[in-house]
Amino acid sequence: MRLLKFFGYSIVAIVCGLMLVLSGAYLYLSPGLPSVEALRSIQLQIPLRVYSSDEKLIAEFGEMRRTPIRFADIPPNFISALLSAEDDNFANHYGVDPSSLVRAATQLVKSGHIQSGGSTITMQVAKNFFLTSERSFSRKATEILLALQIERQLTKDEILELYVNKIYLGNRAYGIEAASQVYYGKSIRDASLAQMAMIAGLPKAPSRFNPLANPARSKERRDWILGRMYKLGKIDQAAYESAVAEPLNASYHVPTPEVNAPYIAEMARAEMVGRYGSEAYTEGFRVTTTVPSNLQEIANTSVHSGLVTYDQRHGYRGPESRLPGKTLSAWTTELGKQRPISGLEPAIVTQVKKDGVQVLTRTGEAHVAWDSMKWARPFLNTNSMGPMPKQPSDVAQVGDLIRVQRQPDDSLKFSQVPLAQGALVSLDPQNGAIRALVGGFAFEQSNYNRATQAKRQPGSSFKPFIYSAALDNGYTAASLVNDAPIVFVDEYLDKVWRPKNDTNTFLGPIRIREALYKSRNLVSIRLLQAMGVGKTIDYMTRFGFAKSDLPPNLSLALGTATLTPMEIATGWSTFANGGYKIAPYLIDKIESRNGDTLFTANPPRVPGDVVNGVAATDGLAAPSNGGITIEPSPGAAPATNGTTPT
């Protein structure tokens, strides 16, 4: 009896001691616990996405790939797989599972170190949203208290929704929807039972059970989860056997842009960072640009084919490098270091034949026909080339690292990366919307945006602005100007300037309309001389040009200003729209993660009743498409602030 009493009192004492310890821990830790109510309004990090005007994805920016999913959209099979793997008693406990904690404590006593934390899904939500990954008893106690509070204030469905959207699942994927897209290229709703089980096995150790890095371990984990589901009655034997037999078909999928517009994407990204700072990458903004996908693709093709054609007219500069005598393994390694540039794939010549060359690409061996190589005359200098090649061996040798372009029929065409660069910008002259923009041959080669950053001399494309100034200063299209030689002498510098026409011919007295379309240099110079350089430059600023970019001398008439393609296109828009200065813009709409519209562009627009460049009214013009009214001033006075005609 004494022994029984001793054990009874001991048990009571232990229980009381535990209660005192837990009460003390609660009193000590509870004042510092965060508010669980914050979970209802938690904002998960979602990347910035940029779209074309016809809703096609251009780019995605952000460290975390995440697409939140509502609980109602989570497949029941995935919930069963997740609970079977992580917390099969989730529906019955109140945030803490005593049996799991006892099991974790037993493992600690036996092994001497922490093997598992005995955490429930609710405890993991508490840790993921409020705590660190530190392994300590104080952190575990805080986690338990938070889990109990979460269970009191949130439903089981809400807890699961928070968990599946927050967890990290490898390869920058956060949440189950992003993980399904990364590993299988489809929504979790379309994944098979085996694929769901694989994703459900990732939270325990995303790197260890990653199907890309450790496929064997991943399959072992997947099959164990499927076995648990079968044992717990979540699936039948047929479904279990079918899922276990399914091969591990995971592969790396990244969000594939539907429109190739990297320079547009970078411009949109920079503007969003300017507006919202670092939150631009995490708040799930959806940006719709003014660029239609079809026009952008046409612009891409035009710049690409134009530069390649121009480059090939100047000859072949030889292979990028030579790797003779190397093994197939060495060639494969070298190809892995190279990257495609605007569709031009790297390839290594493995065999030279009479009808072309055999090459090794990243996807395997292929043939390049001799007909696609005949253009490759040796490059000597900018103005000369060597003789026409007569056979493939005149162009390429075994081990040459070359570039090939894949054709629609999957054949390969011999090519090279152009040295020349180019840019293209297309604007809507009615409101300034950017309709297409290409900043160079390839963004991966150079992210320098030549359409907006490269200041170059526009040449004869600048002459219409000189003639416009002349028309506003008393000249008419029928005015005669002498197209004759002229000489300028600088007595101080002892320099003589004898400007010429490009054909070195002179037409004598010529009407302005003819001089413009024939681009006569001497007529432009005489017009500028007659009007005065300073007065003409003041006039040019009405088109949006900065004075600092316009040289204060007569060479301005020949287009020696330093302007970007965007500035030239902006100036030319005034000719296209009847004389109204516009301001280019790219972002048409910004939406929040919830679909709320945060910004809608509303630029000044050319009046809708301007026909063929002439306003039908002499008073206030009616707004076009709900835009801001632009008031034409009487006569032909040019615009100075973007709201009156030039």
By annotation, the residues acting in catalysis are 86, 460
Number of Cβ atoms within 10 Å of the Cβ of 587: 19
Q: Given its phi and psi angles, is residue 214 left (phi above 0), alpha (psi -120 to 50 degrees) or beta?
A: beta
As a whole number of angstroms, the distance between CA 340 and CA 319 comes to 15
Q: State the DSSP string of 502-516.
A: TTS---EEEEHHHHH
Tell me which DSSP letter residue 456 carries: B
| Residue where the block lists tokens 């306003």 | 615
Parallel, antiparallel, or unpaired: how do β-strands 356-361 and 400-406 relate? unpaired
As a whole number of angstroms, the distance between CA 296 and CA 291 comes to 7
Token pair for 57: 């994805």
CB 192 within 8 A of CB 243: yes
CB 188 within 8 A of CB 69: yes
φ/ψ (deg, to 5) at 388: -65, 135
Q: State the DSSP string of 461-512.
A: GGHHHHHHHHHTTT--TT-EEEE----EEETTTTEEE----TTS---EEEEH
| Residue where the block lists tokens 């439903």 | 155
φ/ψ (deg, to 5) at 335: -60, -35
CB 519 within 8 A of CB 503: no
Tell me which DSSP letter residue 399 carries: T
CB 352 within 8 A of CB 371: no
Token pair for 27: 């009193």
As a whole number of angstroms, the distance between CA 223 and CA 198 comes to 8
Q: How many Å is the maximal CA-CA distance in the chain?
A: 134
Parallel, antiparallel, or unpaired: how do β-strands 508-511 and 480-483 relate? antiparallel
CA angle 337, 338, 340 (to 5 degrees): 145
Long-range pairs, 103-110, Cβ under 8 A, ≥24: none
As a whole number of angstroms, the distance between CA 551 and CA 537 comes to 9
